[in-house]
Amino acid sequence: MNSMNETWKKKLWVCLLVLSIIILTGCGQTGQSTAVPAIQDGVIVKVLDVGQGDSILIKTTEQVVLIDSGDSASSQKLLGMLAAEKVRKIDKVIITHPHSDHLGGLPAVMGKYNIVHIYDSGQTNTSKLYRNYLKTVKNKKIPFSIVQAGQAIEIGGSALLQVLSPSKPYFTGTRSDLNNNSIVLKLVFKDFSMLLAADAEKPAEQRLLKQYGEKLQSNILKVGHHGSSTASSPGFIKKVSPAEAIISLGANNEYHHPHPSVLKKYNKEKIKIYRTDLHGTITIRSDGRTYSIAKEKG
Ligand SMILES: [Zn+2]
């Protein structure tokens, strides 16, 4: 009787062992497949506090997208923020234009993350930073596309980035052709929308007004060119008619952004202003119907 019990006990232990191996292996696989990339539902947009520059992280239920990468001076901070967001790979990187305050953090990001696809404005720069960027994209064989107005970039989870700018003929002879030819996007997720104006200045705003008119209307505006007086023309603000405006800029920056006249224009339209220099990273969450905005500080 006792020996029978011992045999059954042994069999039971073996069964339990096999079962636990199956469960552990199964759990491991499930964990890996759900951890990448991001969120259970809705869309999250983070206008990251990268100092003077732009970097915007978008997470959908299917993809992680990074629009611009801040300056090289803040690249370690950017990597820290991506790690804190538990980013494992980046499905899409969009570089709005090749100025260092938008492209500078990318070498660090490319060094650490697998990037599935890179999009840029097709504008070139003579800087070493820009040449090295192209070289790295080529060496790493990262799929690369130049985008233009009229196209749309699918980012999963029913969310879309409509490309509103640049359009041909590209701007020449403006104060900054690179700024005016930068990629302007409209994030659309069901009823929620956010206009990401990159560093588009007044000439680009005028063209957008002519080409899109009422279609510019968005819940939130990421203000063009860090709150500089070279952007945010009154007609443009009126057509976008956001409830909130977000300005990405560094504290005490050498360009004296934001310009007081720009703040006045948004205040006049009763548009609530959020600033990364005062409020840190700004987080927007939307379920496609409503949305919330949270400040990191201030
Ligand atoms: Zn800039």
CATH number at residue 230: 3.60.15.10
Spatial neighbors of 64 by CB under 8 A, at least 6 apart, are: 37, 38, 57, 58, 87, 89, 90, 91, 92
Distance 24 CA to ligand 1 centre (A): 48
Q: What is the whole-number distance in angstroms between the Cα of residue 178 and the centre of ligand 1? A: 10
Q: What percent of the chain is modeled with pLDDT above 70?
A: 87
Distance (Å, whole) CA 86 – CA 41: 16
Residues 18 and 163 in one domain: no
Q: Are both 12 and 105 inside the same structural domain? A: no
Average pLDDT over residues 11-16: 57
Contact at 8 Å (CB) between 192 and 43?
A: yes
Going edge to edge, which strands form the sheet with 244-247?
152-154, 159-165, 184-189, 192-196, 220-222, 244-247, 272-275
Token pair for residue 236?
């443009």
Mark whether 25 and 74 lie in a shared domain.
no
What is the CA(123)–ligand 1 centre distance, in A?
A: 14
Per-residue pLDDT, 157: 95
The strand pairing partners of 186, in sequence order, are 162, 195
Q: Which of 65, 67, 59, 138 is nearest to 103 (CA)?
A: 67
**How confident is residue 1, by pLDDT bands cut at 50, 70 and 90?**
very low
Q: Does residue 37 register a pLDDT over 70?
A: no
CB 219 within 8 A of CB 272: no
Q: Bridge partners of 90?
A: 115
Centre of ligand 1 to C-alpha 56, Å, is 13
Tell me the average pLDDT across 54-62: 98
pLDDT over threshold 90, residue 13: no
What's the token pair of residue 164?
């509103």
Q: Are 223 and 257 in contact (CB under 8 A)?
A: no
CA of 211 to the centre of ligand 1 (A): 24
Percentage of the chain lying above the pLDDT 90 cut: 86
Q: Are residues 127 and 17 in the same domain?
A: no
Residues 250, 172: one domain? Answer: yes
pLDDT score of 200 more than 50 = yes
Are 142 and 44 found together in one domain?
A: yes
The model's confidence at residue 116, banded by pLDDT at 50, 70 and 90, is very high
- pLDDT tens figures, 207-216: 999 999 999 9
Position 109 pLDDT exceeds 60? yes
Measured in Å, residue 41 CA sits from the centre of ligand 1 at: 31
Q: How far is the CA of 292 from the centre of ligand 1 (A)?
A: 26
pLDDT at 33: 37
pLDDT recorded at residue 39:
84
Residue 289 Cα, ligand 1 centroid: separation in angstroms? 31
Model-wide pTM > 0.85: yes
Q: Kindly give the distance from the C-alpha atom of residue 163 to the centroid of ligand 1, in angstroms, as a whole number.
A: 18
145 and 77 share one domain:
yes
Mean pLDDT along residues 118-127: 97
- The phi-psi region of residue 141 (left if phi > 0; otherwise alpha if psi is between -120 and 50; otherwise beta) is left
Q: What is the pLDDT of residue 17?
A: 52
Domain of residue 7, residue span: 1-35
Number of domains in the chain: 2
Q: Give tens-digit pLDDT for 238-293.
A: 999 999 999 999 999 999 999 999 999 999 999 999 999 999 999 999 999 999 99
For residue 297, what pLDDT band results from cuts at 50, 70 and 90? very high
The verdict on 20 and 63 lying in the same domain is no
> CA torsion angle for 288, 116, 107, 82 (degrees, to 10)?
40
pLDDT digits (tens, 9 = 90+) for 128-182: 999 999 999 999 999 999 999 999 999 999 999 999 999 999 999 999 999 999 9
Average confidence (pLDDT) over 104-111: 98
CA of 96 relative to ligand 1 center, distance in Å: 9
Question: In the prediction, which pLDDT does 38 show?
Answer: 60
* pLDDT of 7 strictly over 70: no
Given this model, what pLDDT does residue 146 score?
A: 98
Ligand 1 mean position to 232 CA, how many Å? 14
Same domain, 31 and 41: no
42, 30: one domain: no
Mean pLDDT value of segment 70-85: 98
Average pLDDT, the chain: 91
Cα of 245 to ligand 1 centre, how many Å?
16
What does the pLDDT read at residue 36?
47
Residues 172 and 276 in one domain: yes
Tell me: do 177 and 191 sit in the same domain. yes
How far apart, in whole angstroms, are the C-alpha atoms of residue 103 and residue 201? 18
